[in-house]
Structure 1
Amino acid sequence: MKSGIGPEHQQEVLMRFKLLAAAGAFAAAAALVSSATAAEASPRQHGSHLASVHRGYTQVVVAPAVYALIQRAQIAPAPLGSAKAGPYKGTVAADFPIVGYRLANLRIKHAGGLSLSTPQRAIELRNFSIDLGRAKVSARVSGSIGDVGRVDLFTIRPSDHYSLGLVRLTLTQTAAGALNQTFGVIAFSSGETFGYATPRPFAQF
């Protein structure tokens, strides 16, 4: 008997399964790290800082096509605050330290941020929050367009390039509009891949 499920539908089901598996892995990691944090009896004093349980980071890799686009437009990416950024496989990657979890809603919170700027215009994206329950990534947005506040920037989708990231980040309509308005272009569209993300909750930042 032939299956009534075509190849395209099978591929979609497989991609959804991988996304759900990734969400489950993130949630399990969050639970383990949260338990370790709660078990820390008394933090040690180091100068003016308190030592805490290490919580890892999330790596975001800008899609090569987007990196080529922003280079042509002379838009420079740069890390903000405690984030780090540098060359990665022909594009650029940024690492954002994980600072908290909300297990009830499957959220992973981050410090630091990323700026995109030209000599005349700039946009800053800070304090990313991965919301696995809604399959969205939000951040606080400010810059030449003003202080926008926290908005959904990306939709989380299955990766089509696992060497760059576990999941794919596509632009929301709000994010595409903010980028186009900031830099006076029509280069960014809703649904287009902006980059790839891989949370690493136990890796050293």
Structure 2
Amino acid sequence: MRKAILALLTVVLTLGMATALGAPAQATSAKHSGKKVGYTQVVVAPPVYDLIAGAGITPAPTAGAKAFAYKGTLAARFPITGYRLKGLQIKHSGGLSLTAGASTITVSDFTIDLARGRVSGKVTGTIGDVGRVDLFKIRSSDRRDLGAVRLTLTDTAAGALNATFGVDAFAENATFGYATPRPFSRF
């Protein structure tokens, strides 16, 4: 866990250095400025992607996110819209929907919270409007080729996925994917 936090902390410090060197003031705003200041790439763990595809669940980017095939799995990019150095947070727009038949779950507007070692997001779908919840725990990556840190499911996220799709395949602390923030990179 300590290595994962240090990896993402390096990204936040990079953001702070850029600000000190004259980056736009809105980039340090605690609020979503709506301006893109880079992106975070999330790669779905190959076994999870196989599970999703095998269950007939179709992923799709929403609200400005991008998704594409990547190393035999799926990657998505979410625009970084702001950050807060004081709270060690990186805010994003866009999201991802997962659909199977009439069942859908959409997660969006992610916030990486380094102080807590969590990633939260807004959750809506067949199960209703859940609101903002912790989706992932940030862990050390065991697949650096896929991402700087590993994202494991919270009990809430696993439960929402299982309830939406009528399965019991998702569990707390199971690896969902890998994330790499890329501040100031072209989206």
Same-fold status (TM-score > 0.5):
yes
Q: Cα distance, 1:61 vs. partner?
A: 0.2
Q: Cα distance, 1:176 vs. partner?
A: 0.2
1:113 aligns with 2:95: yes
In structure 2, the partner of 1:28 is 13
Q: Which amino acid counterpart does residue 156 of structure 1 have in structure 2?
A: I
CA distance in 1, matches of 2:156, 2:171: 10
Q: What stretches of structure 1 move > 3 A for 4+ residues in a row?
A: 32-35
SS in 1 for 2:17: helix
Distance 1:21 1:144, change over 3 A: same
CA distance in 1, matches of 2:91, 2:47: 27
1:92 aligns with 2:74: yes
Q: Cα distance, 1:120 vs. partner?
A: 1.3
State, as a whole percentage, how many aligned pairs show the same letter: 59
State whether residues 34 and 101 of structure 1, in contact with CA within 8 Å, keep that contact through their aligned partners in structure 2. no
Aligned match of 1:102 in 84, 87, 91?
84
In structure 2, the partner of 1:187 is 169
Q: Which amino acid counterpart does residue 32 of structure 1 have in structure 2?
A: M
Distance 1:34 1:183, change over 3 A: farther
| TM-score using structure 1 length | 0.83
Structure number with greater CO (CA < 8 Å, separation at least 6) is 2
CA distance in 1, matches of 2:117, 2:13: 16
Number of positions where the alignment pairs a residue of Structure 1 with one of Structure 2: 179
Instruction: Compute the RMSD of aligned alpha carbons.
Output: 1.7
Cα deviation per residue 1:78-122 (whole Å; 9 max; x = unaligned)? 100110001000000000000000111100000000000012100
- Unaligned 5+ runs, structure 1: 1-14, 41-50
SS in 2 for 1:104: coil
1:201 aligns with 2:183: yes
In structure 2, the partner of 1:4 is none
| TM-score using structure 2 length | 0.91
Asked which structure has the greater CA Rg, the reply is 1
In structure 2, the partner of 1:37 is 24
In structure 1, the partner of 2:30 is none
1:19 aligns with 2:4: yes
Q: Cα distance, 1:202 vs. partner?
A: 2.1
Q: Which amino acid counterpart does residue 90 of structure 2 have in structure 1?
A: I
